[in-house]
Amino acid sequence: MELEKTSKFLSYVLRHRPDSIGLTLDENGWADVDALIACAAQNGTVLTHALIRELVISNDKQRFALDETPGRIRANQGHSVAVDLGLQPITPPDTLYHGTATRFVESIRVEGLLPRSRQHVHLSATVDTARNVGARHGVVIILPVRAAALAETGIHFYRSENGVWLADHIPAAFIDFADAIA
CATH of residue 139's domain is 3.20.170.30
pLDDT at 170: 98
Total domains in the chain come to: 2
pLDDT at 1 over 60: no
Count of alpha carbons within 13 angstroms of residue 163, beta-carbon side: 10
The answer to whether the CB of 160 falls within 8 A of the CB of 169 is no
- Give yes or no: residues 30 and 106 share one domain: no
What's the pLDDT score for residue 71? 92
Q: What is the pLDDT of residue 3?
A: 81
Determine, yes or no, domain membership for 84: no
Q: Quickly state the pLDDT bin for 159 (edges 50, 70, 90).
A: very high
CA distance 149 to 49: 44
Predicted confidence (pLDDT) per residue in 62-119, tens digit: 889 999 887 999 998 888 888 888 889 999 999 999 999 999 999 999 999 999 878 8
Q: What is the mean pLDDT of the chain?
A: 92
Same structural domain, 67 and 118: no
Residues 66 and 127 in one domain: no
The answer to whether residues 34 and 102 belong to one domain is: no
Q: Looking at the structure, tell me whether residues 124 and 175 fall in a common domain.
A: yes
150: pLDDT strictly greater than 60: yes
Full domain range(s) for residue 154 = 95-179
Residues 113 and 65 in one domain: no
Model confidence band, residue 138 (pLDDT cutoffs 50, 70, 90) = confident
* Same domain (yes/no): 171, 99: yes
Least confident of 25-39, 63-77, 89-103, 142-156: 63-77
What is the pLDDT at residue 4? 85
Q: At residue 50, what are phi and psi to the nearest 5 degrees? A: -65, -45
Task: Tell me if 58 is assigned to some domain.
Answer: yes
Do 38 and 110 share a domain, yes or no?
A: no
What are 40-53's pLDDT values in tens digits? 999 999 999 999 99
pLDDT level of residue 162 (50, 70, 90 thresholds): confident
Mean pLDDT of 137-166: 94
